[in-house]
């Protein structure tokens, strides 16, 4: 039932203000402790089965890492030994590539350079990174792609460069070379290696398969119910019940044994913070000593066991987020889920018993929101044009909406979270607000004020999303209990390995192939389906048929590539700690990478809808309705980037109908592209169970798409 809470324009508490300022004034740093621990552990556990290998590496990392409690903190726990650094997942490999090719740039760039001790840099470059060559997820994925015939490095020779300069212009070509090589000619010998790495990321230039699965909501609710001691005990009991021999029995034994090790390591890690808090209390002021003693008591109780108070519940959630982040590494995209629903019972009980005040609860939630922004990633130079490095959206919080029975789920903690978000002023784009028909008007108006005052508030329509989740196969109860993952992706909470993003298709790239017989500007050779010469198109339906053929080909190629990535994870890189939180895994004795979650999906995200809709509309209008240009002439204009034909380019840019202007004809084309894309994606089964779910969003990658795409029929120039 909704609880109306009238709030005033509050201000950030002094404690949270100091924590926020400390974070914003912190340098970007590179922390090698987790990378070092995982590397050393991997070296001595080569004979261990996959789940146990992962659990032992995590245990060693949690034992070895430097821990700290800052002066103003009430919530203990940090993912790294530095205040603002990312957890380097050396076993995945994608950030190994960033550091191998761009570490110098990261350390010397003018805006927010990263910092690393020289001794640690030497350790990273001479010891850690070389060890993982050939051993990472990326390397195994590349080998599987090669065996399947879908790995082919892009070769930029003189002929290719001539074609690119002709089609994209010299300025765009120079920009691409600068982003790839920097200002130094010393980078030129790395070009071939960089092309190989690109091939391990992109089956072709219209497709991307990032090296992370991730993108789901871990079972935070289950952690609050059982604690990690409870998980370890359940795993121990289940292990005793595994009978027989053979591959499946061995895998269950490996999984349960690994969960027991990993869950126990989390409890041990939290005790380290309890001991540190007690130690710091000995020399602290009386007021701070009391706070530190409280921190110590909380860390001895949670997340090992179920919390008994609101403060313990928040501490449990944060420490769980910390250890899962250490286990999975940066850019894992492990979203928080329904924070207000997790915490309401504890808040209500403590408030009624006088154990907490609204002001105290708000203060710790402000701290929690600041801590969620400590997520940071390292981006290559080209990638910095697409996203922020600090406060990335992996820590998305969902509030509001309906409960599992369909009643209004807005409660007092919902309002508190919104207040905390407003007061902190949204350090990260991470607050998702669900709105339903029974959401109070007062709350909707309050969300609108928050949207106006801050950044980062996203609003979601319960009625629409719940219907779509039911169509995906979620139960009504689980559909109503949805959370938002990462940027904008809905999924059920704590029981689904959704993998909602990371496998992408550039729809504008698909269009480029359809107008070039399966080729793209940068490839020269055919990388798509063999479709007819566009000069032979006699009707707009011919254009649509070519687009559909290329879409079918590229979706199938992307699915094949993702399935091989999933195979790499299942065989060598499971996640027993994360799996222990997700409903279905402990029950089945199966890691999330092998389909242990109650719900399983993969996904394919399409981007560039506006460009494709505008381009289709421009072709239909200019070629087949007005006869202003032939298809053959239009394709020639695009291949030369409209050079010398500015008048025709402006006709296409300004005269052709555009998507987003209430033009029903163009809306129909956008709907056709979307419906066709979604139907094509949903045809494909996910190897872990379930099927591929379509998404339509860009998360900034359209910037890179534009840079590498040729000119498009809507008048857009190459490189834009």
Of the pLDDT bands very low, low, confident and very high (cuts 50, 70, 90), residue 3 is low
List Cβ neighbours of 153 (8 Å cut-off, separation of 6 or more).
192, 195, 196, 198, 199
SS3 458: strand
Q: Do the beta carbons of residue 581 and residue 232 sit within 8 Å?
A: no
Q: Do the beta carbons of residue 482 and residue 492 sit within 8 Å?
A: yes
Can you name the residues that pair with 334 across neighbouring β-strands?
Answer: 216
**E strand or H helix at 191, and its extent?**
helix 191-199
Give the whole-angstrom CA distance, residue 460 versus residue 466. 10
Q: Do the beta carbons of residue 223 and residue 334 sit within 8 Å?
A: no
390 vs 355, higher pLDDT: 355
pLDDT attached to residue 384: 63
pTM: 0.94
> pLDDT (tens digit, 9 = 90+) per residue, 270-288?
999 999 999 999 999 999 9
Nearest in space to 474 (alpha carbons), one of 386, 374, 598, 576: 598
Q: Which of 98-112, 234-248, 640-654 has the lowest mean pLDDT?
A: 98-112
pLDDT attached to residue 268: 98
Please report the DSSP string for 336-389 in residue order.
Answer: -EEHHHHHHHHHHHHHHHTS--HHHHHHHHHHHHHHHTT-B----TGGGGT--S
162 vs 453, higher pLDDT: 453
- On the 0-12 / 13-18 / 19+ scale of CB atoms within 10 A, 277 is buried
pLDDT attached to residue 193: 72
Quick one: average pLDDT of 364-390?
Answer: 80
pLDDT attached to residue 177: 66
Residue 613: pLDDT above 90?
yes
Quick one: average pLDDT of 148-174?
Answer: 74
pLDDT attached to residue 72: 96
pLDDT attached to residue 178: 65
Q: Do the beta carbons of residue 347 and residue 413 sit within 8 Å?
A: yes
Angle of helix 339-353 versus helix 358-372 axis, rounded to 10: 150
Q: Do the beta carbons of residue 212 and residue 560 sit within 8 Å?
A: no
Give the whole-angstrom CA distance, residue 267 versus residue 228. 7
Nearest in space to 508 (alpha carbons), one of 557, 545, 554: 554
Asked, as a colleague might, if the bond just before 241 is cis with ω within 30 of 0, I would say no
Please report, to the nearest 10 degrees, the dihedral formed by the alpha carbons of residues 388, 211, 36, 378 taken in order: -20
- CA 61 to chain CA centroid, Å, is 23
- On the 0-12 / 13-18 / 19+ scale of CB atoms within 10 A, 360 is middle
480 vs 156, higher pLDDT: 480
Nearest in space to 221 (alpha carbons), one of 469, 377, 404: 404
Give the whole-angstrom CA distance, residue 157 versus residue 195. 12
Length of the chain: 720
Torsion sign (Cα): 178, 180, 186, 189: negative
Q: Do the beta carbons of residue 582 and residue 220 sit within 8 Å?
A: no
Highest-pLDDT range among 374-388, 457-471, 510-524 = 457-471
DSSP for residue 534: G
> pLDDT (tens digit, 9 = 90+) per residue, 193-227?
777 777 888 899 899 999 999 999 999 999 999 99
Nearest in space to 412 (alpha carbons), one of 351, 333, 455, 456: 351
pLDDT attached to residue 522: 77
Q: Which of 17-26, 149-158, 320-329, 369-378 has the lowest mean pLDDT?
A: 149-158
Q: Do the beta carbons of residue 342 and residue 313 sit within 8 Å?
A: yes
pLDDT attached to residue 487: 87
Residue 161: pLDDT above 90?
no
pLDDT attached to residue 385: 61
664 vs 5, higher pLDDT: 664
pLDDT attached to residue 267: 98
Torsion sign (Cα): 715, 717, 718, 720: negative
pLDDT attached to residue 708: 84
Quick one: average pLDDT of 621-629?
Answer: 98
Q: Which of 239-253, 449-463, 568-582 has the lowest mean pLDDT?
A: 449-463
pLDDT attached to residue 547: 98
Residue 155: pLDDT above 80?
no
pLDDT attached to residue 545: 98
Nearest in space to 280 (alpha carbons), one of 267, 297, 293, 271: 293
- On the 0-12 / 13-18 / 19+ scale of CB atoms within 10 A, 576 is buried
Nearest in space to 223 (alpha carbons), one of 329, 334, 331: 334
Quick one: average pLDDT of 324-335?
Answer: 93
Torsion sign (Cα): 433, 420, 374, 279: negative
> pLDDT (tens digit, 9 = 90+) per residue, 512-539?
999 999 998 877 789 999 999 999 999 9
> pLDDT (tens digit, 9 = 90+) per residue, 67-115?
999 999 999 999 999 999 999 999 999 999 889 888 988 999 888 899 9
pLDDT attached to residue 184: 52
Give the whole-angstrom CA distance, residue 106 versus residue 376. 13
DSSP strand pairing (489-491 vs 483-485): antiparallel
Please report, to the nearest 10 degrees, the dihedral formed by the alpha carbons of residues 120, 125, 131, 132 taken in order: 100
Task: Show the tokens assigned to 98.
Answer: 């960033």
pLDDT attached to residue 183: 55
pLDDT attached to residue 395: 83
Can you name the residues that pair with 398 across neighbouring β-strands?
Answer: 338, 432
The percent of residues in the chain predicted with pLDDT above 70, rounded, is: 93
> pLDDT (tens digit, 9 = 90+) per residue, 167-195?
777 777 777 666 665 555 455 566 667 77
Q: What is the mean pLDDT of the chain?
A: 92
Of the pLDDT bands very low, low, confident and very high (cuts 50, 70, 90), residue 331 is confident
Give the whole-angstrom CA distance, residue 143 versus residue 565. 10
Give the whole-angstrom CA distance, residue 450 versus residue 423. 10
pLDDT attached to residue 379: 77
Quick one: average pLDDT of 402-413?
Answer: 98
């Amino acid at each position: 039932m909704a609880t109306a809470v009238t709030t005033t324009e509050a201000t950030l508490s002094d404690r949270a203000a100091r924590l926020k300022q400390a974070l914003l004034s912190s340098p970007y740093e590179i922390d090698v402790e987790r990378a070092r621990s995982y590397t050393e552990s991997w070296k001595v556990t080569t004979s261990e089965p996959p789940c146990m290998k992962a659990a032992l590496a995590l245990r060693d990392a949690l034992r070895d890492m430097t821990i700290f409690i800052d002066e103003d903190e009430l919530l203990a726990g940090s993912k790294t030994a530095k205040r603002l650094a990312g957890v380097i997942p050396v076993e995945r490999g994608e950030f190994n590539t960033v550091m191998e090719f761009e570490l110098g740039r990261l350390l010397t760039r003018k805006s927010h350079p990263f910092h690393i001790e020289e001794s640690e840099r030497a350790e990273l470059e001479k010891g850690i990174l070389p060890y993982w060559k050939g051993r990472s997820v990326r390397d195994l994925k590349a080998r599987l792609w090669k065996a399947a015939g879908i790995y082919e490095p892009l070769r930029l020779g003189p002929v290719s460069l001539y074609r690119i300069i002709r089609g994209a212009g010299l300025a765009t070509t120079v920009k691409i070379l600068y982003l790839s090589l920097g200002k130094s000619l010393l980078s030129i010998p790395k070009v071939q290696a960089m092309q190989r790495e690109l091939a391990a990321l992109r089956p072709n230039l219209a497709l991307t398969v990032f090296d992370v699965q991730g993108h789901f909501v871990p079972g935070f609710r289950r952690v609050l119910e059982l604690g990690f001691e409870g998980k370890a005990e359940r795993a121990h009991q289940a292990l005793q019940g595994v009978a027989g021999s053979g591959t499946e029995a061995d895998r269950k034994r490996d999984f349960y044994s690994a969960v027991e090790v990993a869950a126990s390591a989390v409890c041990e890690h939290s005790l380290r913070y309890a001991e540190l808090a007690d130690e710091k209390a000995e020399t602290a002021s009386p007021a701070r000593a009391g706070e530190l003693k409280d921190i110590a008591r909380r860390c001895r109780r949670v997340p090992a066991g179920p919390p008994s108070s609101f403060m313990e519940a928040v501490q449990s959630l944060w420490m769980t987020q910390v250890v899962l982040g250490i286990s999975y590494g940066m850019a894992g995209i492990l979203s928080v889920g329904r924070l207000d629903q997790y915490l309401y019972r504890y808040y209500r009980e403590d408030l009624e018993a006088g154990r907490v005040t609204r002001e105290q609860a708000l203060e710790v939630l402000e701290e929690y929101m600041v801590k969620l922004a400590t997520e940071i990633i390292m981006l290559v130079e080209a990638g910095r044009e697409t996203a922020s490095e600090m406060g990335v959206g992996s820590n998305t919080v969902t509030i509001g909406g309906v409960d599992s029975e369909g009643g209004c789920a807005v409660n007092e903690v919902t309002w508190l979270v919104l207040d905390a978000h407003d007061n902190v002023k949204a350090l990260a784009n991470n607050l998702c607000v669900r709105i339903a028909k029974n959401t109070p008007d007062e709350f909707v108006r309050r969300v609108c004020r928050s949207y106006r005052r801050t950044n980062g508030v996203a609003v979601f329509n319960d009625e629409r999303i719940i219907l779509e989740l039911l169509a995906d196969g979620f139960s009504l109860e689980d559909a109503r209990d949805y959370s938002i993952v990462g940027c904008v992706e809905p999924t059920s909470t704590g029981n689904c390995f959704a993998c909602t993003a990371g496998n992408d298709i550039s729809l504008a790239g698909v269009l480029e192939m359809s107008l070039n017989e399966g080729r793209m500007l940068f490839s020269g050779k055919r990388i798509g389906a063999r479709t007819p010469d566009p000069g032979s198109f006699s009707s707009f339906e011919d254009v649509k048929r070519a687009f559909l053929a290329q879409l079918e080909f590229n979706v199938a190629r992307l699915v094949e590539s993702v399935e091989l990535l999933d195979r790499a994870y299942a065989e060598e890189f499971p996640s027993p700690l994360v799996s222990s939180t997700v409903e279905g895994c402990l029950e089945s004795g199966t890691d999330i990478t092998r389909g242990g979650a109650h719900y399983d999906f993969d996904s394919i995200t399409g981007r560039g809808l506006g460009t494709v809709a505008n381009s289709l509309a421009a072709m239909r209008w200019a070629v087949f309705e007005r006869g202003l240009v032939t298809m053959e002439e239009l394709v020639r204009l695009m291949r030369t980037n409209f050079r010398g034909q500015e008048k025709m380019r402006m006709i296409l840019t300004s005269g052709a109908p555009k998507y987003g202007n209430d033009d029903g004809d163009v809306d129909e084309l956008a709907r056709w592209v979307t419906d066709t894309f979604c139907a094509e994606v949903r045809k494909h089964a996910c190897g872990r169970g379930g099927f591929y779910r379509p998404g339509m969003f860009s998360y900034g990658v359209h910037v890179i798409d534009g840079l590498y795409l040729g000119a498009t029929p809507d008048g857009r120039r190459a490189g834009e």
